[in-house]
Structure 1
Amino acid sequence: MDAGDFHFVMIKPTHYDDDGYPIQWLRSAIPSNTLASLNGLAEAARARKALGDDVRIHLSTYDETNRRIRPEKIAAEIRRKGGKALIALVGVQSNQFPRAVDLARRFMAQGLQTAVGGFHVSGCISMLDEMPEEMVRLQQEGVVYFAGEAEDRRLDMVFRDAWNGELKPLYNFMADLPSLEGEPTPILPSKHIQFTAGSHSSFDLGRGCPYQCSFCTIINVQGRKSRFRSADDLERIIRENYAQGIDRFFITDDNFARNREWEPLFDRLIDLREKEKFDIKFIIQVDTLCHRIENFIEKATRAGVTRVFIGLENINPDNLLAAKKRQNKITEYREMLQKWRSHGATTYAGYIIGFPGDTKESVLRDVEIIKKELPLDLLEFFYLTPLPGSEDHKVLLSKGAWMDPDLNKYDLNHRVTHHPKMSDRDWEEAYRYAWESYYSDDHIETVLRRAAAHKKGRPGNKLFLMMWFRLMVQCEGVHPLEGGYFRLKFRKDRRSGLPVEHPLAFYPRYFWEIAAKHWAYVSSTWRVYRIYKKVKASPDRKAYTDIAIAPMTEASEQDLAMIRETRGGTEAVAKGVRNAALKKAGKDRAKAAASV
C-alpha cells in the first residue's frame, strides 16, 4: 500500500429549526454517544495501523450542535495537508437526514468521498422493502451508506476501500450485529467537551431490547437480542474519560434494568466511588418495573446514579396495550417513583401524546392526574411519531396514510401525521398545553416542596432542571433534549431550497430574538426563584406531604384517579386482585399439603 495521509472526518449533524437554520448552541447539553463510539473505534484502527505502516491516519470530530460545519473550509484544510479523505456523517436520525443531505452534497462538490450512517439509514434498510426516494437520490449522486454497527473492525474495511477509491454504495451489517465486550472505549477528545454544558460525556453498556413497542426504532436497528459490555470495559471507559476531566456520564442504554450484568457493573462503579474516591455521577434509563429487581435501585444510587429516565409513556393501559408496551403496569408507577425518590434520585419520564385512544380532554386530564398523584420530577412530552425504522411507520406506509414528507419534522416535537380522534389543531394544542400545565409556576412549587421535604431532595437541582425544560420549550421552541445555552445562527447556513436572507433582515431580527429571549429567561427565572426561596425558608418544609409522596394502603391506591379514570386502570387493579387471591390460595394449598 502506498505511503501517504488519510483523513477521517466524523460529523454528527444537527437538524433545522422551523425557519431553516441549523439548531446550534454556544454550549450544547451532552456530547454525542455515536460520535464518541466511532471516534474510539477509529482511534483503535489508527493504533493498529489499519492502512499499513506507511499511511498516517488523521481523525477529526465535529458535533454540529455546538460547532459550525463549513464543508468548503474543511476541504481546503484537507487539500493543504494533502492525502485522501473520507467524510462520515454519523448517527444521523430521521430529523437530521435533510441536514446531512445538504452537508453531503457540499462535501461531494469539493471532490470528497462521503458516507452517511445512523438510525435513519439502518432503520429504513431494516424495515422497508425499498429504499426511500430521498435516500436513492443521494446514493445516485455518489454518497455511500453504512447500515448497522462499526465494531468488530469493520472500519478497517471501509478505510481500505476509501483509501483505494473503491467504496461500495452500501455497507449493510444489519444481519450481523457485533458483540460489544472488549471493544474500544467510546471517548471524545477533551477539547470538544468544552463546547458542552460541563464535564459530561455519554456511552452505552448495552444495545438491543427484547420488547416490541410499535413506535420504537431501537428494536429494529439494534435488534431484540441484547448485547453488553463487561465490567472491565466499563472501568476502562470511566478511567480514560476521568483522566481528561470528564466525570458526569449519560449511559444511553435504552433500558439499563434489562442488562443481565447490571449488578457487576454497579459493583465496579461502587468500588471506584467508595474505594478510590472517584467523584462520578450518572444518568440512566430504565423501565417501570426496575424497582422489582432486588437491590437494583439501592445499588444504582450507591454507584452514582443521580438522575433516572423512565419510559412511562402513558398512564392509560389501553394506550399502552395498543402500542404493544405491555410491560408497563400503571399500578406500579407510584411505588417505583417513590422508591427512587427515597434514595435521592431525580426522576424524568417520557410521555407520548397521540395514542389512538387520546383526546385533547383526556390528555389534559391525565397530565393533571400525574401532577397530583405521581412523585415525578420532570416530564418530557413527545408526539407519537411514525419514525422510519419503526413498526408504526411501516404500517402507515403500507396503508398509504398521510405522513409529512419533510423528515426534518420527525423530531418528536412536531406533528407529522393525522390522529383518528383529534383534529390536527386539537392534537397540537394538547401537546402545547401539556407542557404549559406541567411547567406552570404552581406545579414547579409543588415539585420544589416535595423535594424540600426530603433530606435527599435537592430542591435547587430540581429548580434548575425544571426551568431548563420550561425555557427551552417556551423561549427557544425546541425540545429540552436538544437544547443548549445561547442559540447560534449563521445567515448563510440556511437549509437548501430557502433563500439566504439579506443582512438587514437577518441580523436585526436575530439580535432582537437574543434580547427578547434573555429578558424572558431573567424575568421567568427570577419569579420562580422567589418561589424557591419561599419554599426553602418555610419552617415546616420537612412536614410537607401530598397524595403523590404519602404512603398509601392498598384500598386507597385503588381510589386514585389514575386508576379510576380509565377502563384499563380498573381492569388492571381487578386483575391484580385476582392474581393476588390465586397466589394466596396456592400458598394455602401448599401449607395444607405440607401439614398432611
Structure 2
Amino acid sequence: MVLPRGSKERFHVILIKPSKYDDDGYVIRWWRAVVTSNSLACLNALTESARDRHVLGSEVEIAIHLCDETVQRVPIRKWARSIKKAGETGIVCLVGVQSNQFPRAVDLAKEFQKEGIRSMIGGFHVSGCLEMLPELTPEIKEARDAGITLVAGEVENRWDGLLREAYEGTLQPIYNFVADKPSLEGVPGPLVSKNDLKYFINAQSSFDAGRGCPFHCSFCTIINIQGNQMRGRTADDIERLVRLNHAQGLTHFFITDDNFARNRGWEAIADRLIHLREQEGLHSSIMIQTDTLAHKIPRFIEKMTRAGCRRVFIGLESVNPDNLAECGKRQNMLSEYRRMLQTWRDHNAITYAGYIIGFPGDTYESIMRDVEYLKREIPLDFAEFFIWTPLPGSKDHQALYRKGARMNPDMNLYETAHVVMEHPKMSTDELMRAYHDAWSSFYSKEHCLTLLKRRKGPRRRLLFASLVWFRSTVFLENIHPLLGGYIRLKGRKNRRPGYPIESFWIYYMKRFADFFRYSVGMIQLVSEMYGLVRTATLPEFADYEDIATKPETTETAGGLSLIQKQKRAVVA
C-alpha cells in the first residue's frame, strides 16, 4: 500500500453491540431505545486508550467506529468498501454478546468476512460456554469453523494484545481469559460520546463500578464468569467518569454492577457522588441494581438516594419460598420484602424487581396467585417478569447439559421470554399463557391506577413515563421492556437467514399496517395513562394507603399472607 508522504496507516476497529431477531426473523431495532450497552462503552474506552498510547506503533492510527444495532443499522458494505477502497484493514468486534444475541452476532460476522474483514465475538455466551461446559457447543463450533475468533472473559489486561494480533493478522480461533479477573482500579472506564447516545431516551450513560457477586444463585451467569469475589473501581475512577459525562451534558447514569450493595467501595463512591452533588452542583440521576437485604447495610439507602439514586432494580425473583430455595436464593427473606421496599419508598426511589416464573414447582394457578400477592401486599412499583431459562454460563444450564436434557438449540430464544425446554407441570402453551397473563395482570389499568395512587410528588412523573415504556413494549410490540423502545424499525432485507425476503409491496403494506396499529395503540395507551394520572391526583386520594404501603406494624410486618407462606414452608 502506498501512502502519501507524512500520512499514517489506518487500522479500523469496528465495535458493534448486536441486537437479536424477533419471532418473524427481523432484527429488533428502534427509532429510540432505552437501555444502553455498558460493554460497548467499556470496549470504546479501552480502544481509545490503545489509540492514544499508539499500541500499534507511532505510524499506525486506530480509527474507531461504534454501532449499537438496537438503534442503528449496521452499514456493512459501506464500511467494508470504504476501508478496502482506501487500501486499509480492520477488525470487527461483536461486544457484550449474550446468548440470545449470538445468532445475530455470527450472521453479522459472516457478512463482514464475506467483505474481507475479520471478526471476533466476545461476551457472556462465549464466556459461559467455554467456562462451564466440557466441550464446544454446536453454535460455538460453527462460529469457530467459519473463521470467527471467539473471546471469553474480561479483556482489560488483554485488549492491547488482541488489537496487535488483529492488526498483524495472527488472531487465534479461541481465547479464554475467564480465569483472569483483572483489577478495575485505574483502568479506563466505560465512556462514549453524547452523540453516540442520541438515539436513546434521556441519553443515559452507564458504568460498572464493580464486577462479581458473592451469592450463589443457580440461574446466574455473573458469578461463574466474573466471579464471587467483588472487584471494583475507586471513588477517583468514578468521579472522573462522572465529570467526563457531565462535561458532555450527560447526567443520567445506570451503574451496571450486578449487586452494587456488595461493592466494597460503595460508601466511598456514594460519598464522592454526594460531594459532587451537594458541594459542586453536579446533579446525577442514578439507577442501581442490588439485593433484597441492602436495606440492612447501615447508611446504604440513605447515602445512595442522597447521591442521586432515583431508581433501583432488586433481585426479588419470587414470593414463593419453595422457588427461592430451588434456585439457591436463600438470602431472600420474604418477611423482609415489604420492609425493604418501604425503606426505598421512604427515600423516594422507584423500585423495579426481577420476577421469575416457570420454576419446576410452578403451575398456572400458583403463578397467578403469587402475582396477586405481589400486587396486593408488596409496595413494588415495577415487576419485570422472566421465564425461567437455563442460560449458558449458569449452574442450571451446566447441570441440564451434563444430564443430556433436551433444550432448544436456537440461542435466539434464550432471552427469558420464550420457553426453551419442557416444564414438569405445564405445557409450553400454558407456561406462555402464565407469562403473558402475569404482565397483563400487573400492568392492568386497575393496578396501574393503584401504583399511581401510591406515589406522590415528582416521582409520579417518572412512574408515568416508565409505565408507558413497559406497557407499550409488552402490549403493543410483544417484546420484553429491556429489549424495547419506541417506534419499531425494520429492514426488508435485514432478516434472519432461512426466512424469505418479502416482496417490496407486501412488505411495505405490512409495515404501514404495523405502524398504524402501533400509532393508534400508543395514542390510546398514553391517553389512558393520562386519565389514570388525573384520577390518582384527585383530592380523595391525597392520603391514599393500602396494605402494601401502610406503615409497618407487628401485624403488617412482611405482609400477613407472606409470613403465613413462609411458616408453612418451614413446617414442610
For this structure pair, what is the TM-score category when the shorter chain's length is used for normalisation? Answer: over 0.9
436-445 vs 543-552, greater mean Cα deviation: 543-552
Asked if 2 retains the 8 angstrom alpha-carbon contact of 1:199 and 1:245, the reply is: no
Helix, strand or coil at the partner of 2:511: helix
After superposition, what is the alpha-carbon deviation per residue over 1:367-419, rounded to whole angstroms, capped at 9, x for unaligned? 11111101110110000000111111111112222211111010111111111
Q: C-alpha separation between the residues in 1 aligned to 2:552 and 2:211?
A: 37
CA 271–105 in structure 1, closer or farther in 2 if over 3 Å, else same:
same
Aligned partner of 2:349 in structure 1 is 345
Aligned partner of 2:423 in structure 1 is 419
Deviation at 1:553, TM superposition (A): 2.4
Query: Could you tell me the TM-score, scaled by structure 1's length?
Result: 0.93
Aligned partner of 1:78 in structure 2 is 83
338-347 vs 395-404, greater mean Cα deviation: 395-404
Asked if 1 retains the 8 angstrom alpha-carbon contact of 2:353 and 2:380, the reply is: yes
Helix, strand or coil at the partner of 1:115: strand
Helix, strand or coil at the partner of 1:557: coil
Aligned partner of 2:468 in structure 1 is 467
Aligned partner of 1:198 in structure 2 is 202
CA 386–231 in structure 1, closer or farther in 2 if over 3 Å, else same:
same
After superposition, what is the alpha-carbon deviation per residue over 1:57-102, rounded to whole angstroms, capped at 9, x for unaligned? 1111110000001322210121233322111011110000110111
Aligned partner of 1:36 in structure 2 is 41
Asked if 2 retains the 8 angstrom alpha-carbon contact of 1:255 and 1:287, the reply is: yes
**1:172 correspondence with 2:176:** yes
After superposition, what is the alpha-carbon deviation per residue over 1:293-345, rounded to whole angstroms, capped at 9, x for unaligned? 11110001000000000000001111111101111111100000001001100
Aligned partner of 1:583 in structure 2 is none
Asked if 1 retains the 8 angstrom alpha-carbon contact of 2:338 and 2:559, the reply is: no
**1:5 correspondence with 2:15:** no
Deviation at 1:571, TM superposition (A): 4.7
Deviation at 1:570, TM superposition (A): 3.8
Helix, strand or coil at the partner of 1:349: strand
One-letter amino acid of the counterpart of residue 187, structure 1? L
Residue pairs, 1:123-272, within 5 angstroms: 123-152=128-157, 154-272=158-276
Asked if 2 retains the 8 angstrom alpha-carbon contact of 1:30 and 1:201, the reply is: no
Q: C-alpha separation between the residues in 2 aligned to 1:213 and 1:352?
A: 13
Aligned partner of 2:442 in structure 1 is 438
Deviation at 1:498, TM superposition (A): 1.1
One-letter amino acid of the counterpart of residue 103, structure 1? L
Residue pairs, 1:490-505, within 5 angstroms: 490-505=491-506
Aligned partner of 1:382 in structure 2 is 386
**If you compute each CA radius of gyration, which structure gives the higher value, 1 or 2?**
1
Aligned partner of 2:117 in structure 1 is 112
Aligned partner of 2:28 in structure 1 is 23
Q: C-alpha separation between the residues in 2 aligned to 1:313 and 1:284?
A: 17
Deviation at 1:30, TM superposition (A): 2.7
Q: C-alpha separation between the residues in 1 aligned to 2:200 and 2:567?
A: 42
Deviation at 1:440, TM superposition (A): 0.5
Deviation at 1:138, TM superposition (A): 1.6
Q: C-alpha separation between the residues in 1 aligned to 2:300 and 2:96?
A: 31
Asked if 2 retains the 8 angstrom alpha-carbon contact of 1:181 and 1:229, the reply is: yes
Aligned partner of 1:594 in structure 2 is none
Helix, strand or coil at the partner of 1:307: strand
Aligned partner of 1:586 in structure 2 is none
Q: C-alpha separation between the residues in 1 aligned to 2:18 and 2:556?
A: 50
After superposition, what is the alpha-carbon deviation per residue over 1:231-277, rounded to whole angstroms, capped at 9, x for unaligned? 00000110111111111011000001111111110000000110110
Q: C-alpha separation between the residues in 2 aligned to 1:479 and 1:173?
A: 31
Number of residue equivalences: 566
Helix, strand or coil at the partner of 1:116: strand
Aligned partner of 1:593 in structure 2 is none
Helix, strand or coil at the partner of 1:249: strand
Asked if 2 retains the 8 angstrom alpha-carbon contact of 1:247 and 1:279, the reply is: yes
One-letter amino acid of the counterpart of residue 371, structure 1? K
One-letter amino acid of the counterpart of residue 91, structure 1? G
Helix, strand or coil at the partner of 2:202: coil
Residue pairs, 1:193-592, within 5 angstroms: 193-452=197-456, 456=457, 458-536=459-537, 538-557=538-557, 560-564=560-564, 566=565, 568-571=566-569
Q: C-alpha separation between the residues in 1 aligned to 2:489 and 2:465?
A: 22
Helix, strand or coil at the partner of 1:492: coil
- Where has structure 1 moved over 6 Å in runs of 4 or more? none
One-letter amino acid of the counterpart of residue 344, structure 2? W
Query: Could you tell me the TM-score, scaled by structure 2's length?
Result: 0.97
Deviation at 1:558, TM superposition (A): 6.9
Q: C-alpha separation between the residues in 2 aligned to 1:81 and 1:541?
A: 67
Q: C-alpha separation between the residues in 1 aligned to 2:87 and 2:347?
A: 56
Q: C-alpha separation between the residues in 2 aligned to 1:179 and 1:424?
A: 44
Q: Indicate the RMSD between aligned Cα atoms, in angstroms.
A: 1.5
Q: C-alpha separation between the residues in 2 aligned to 1:353 and 1:457?
A: 32
Asked if 1 retains the 8 angstrom alpha-carbon contact of 2:322 and 2:569, the reply is: no
Q: C-alpha separation between the residues in 1 aligned to 2:568 and 2:530?
A: 40
Asked if 2 retains the 8 angstrom alpha-carbon contact of 1:28 and 1:196, the reply is: yes
Q: C-alpha separation between the residues in 2 aligned to 1:527 and 1:489?
A: 28
Asked if 1 retains the 8 angstrom alpha-carbon contact of 2:378 and 2:559, the reply is: no
Asked if 2 retains the 8 angstrom alpha-carbon contact of 1:330 and 1:569, the reply is: no
After superposition, what is the alpha-carbon deviation per residue over 1:112-150, rounded to whole angstroms, capped at 9, x for unaligned? 111010000001001011111111122112110111111
Q: C-alpha separation between the residues in 1 aligned to 2:120 and 2:51?
A: 19
Asked if 1 retains the 8 angstrom alpha-carbon contact of 2:338 and 2:557, the reply is: no
Aligned partner of 1:591 in structure 2 is none
Deviation at 1:457, TM superposition (A): 6.1
Deviation at 1:556, TM superposition (A): 3.8
Asked if 1 retains the 8 angstrom alpha-carbon contact of 2:317 and 2:354, the reply is: yes
One-letter amino acid of the counterpart of residue 180, structure 2? D
Helix, strand or coil at the partner of 1:357: coil
Structure 2 portions without partners, runs of 5+? none
411-420 vs 12-21, greater mean Cα deviation: 411-420
After superposition, what is the alpha-carbon deviation per residue over 1:179-225, rounded to whole angstroms, capped at 9, x for unaligned? 00100021112211111112211110110111111111111111111
Asked if 1 retains the 8 angstrom alpha-carbon contact of 2:339 and 2:557, the reply is: no
Sequence identity, in percent?
50
Asked if 2 retains the 8 angstrom alpha-carbon contact of 1:190 and 1:244, the reply is: yes
Structure 1 portions without partners, runs of 5+? 576-596
One-letter amino acid of the counterpart of residue 156, structure 1? D
Q: C-alpha separation between the residues in 1 aligned to 2:32 and 2:508?
A: 21
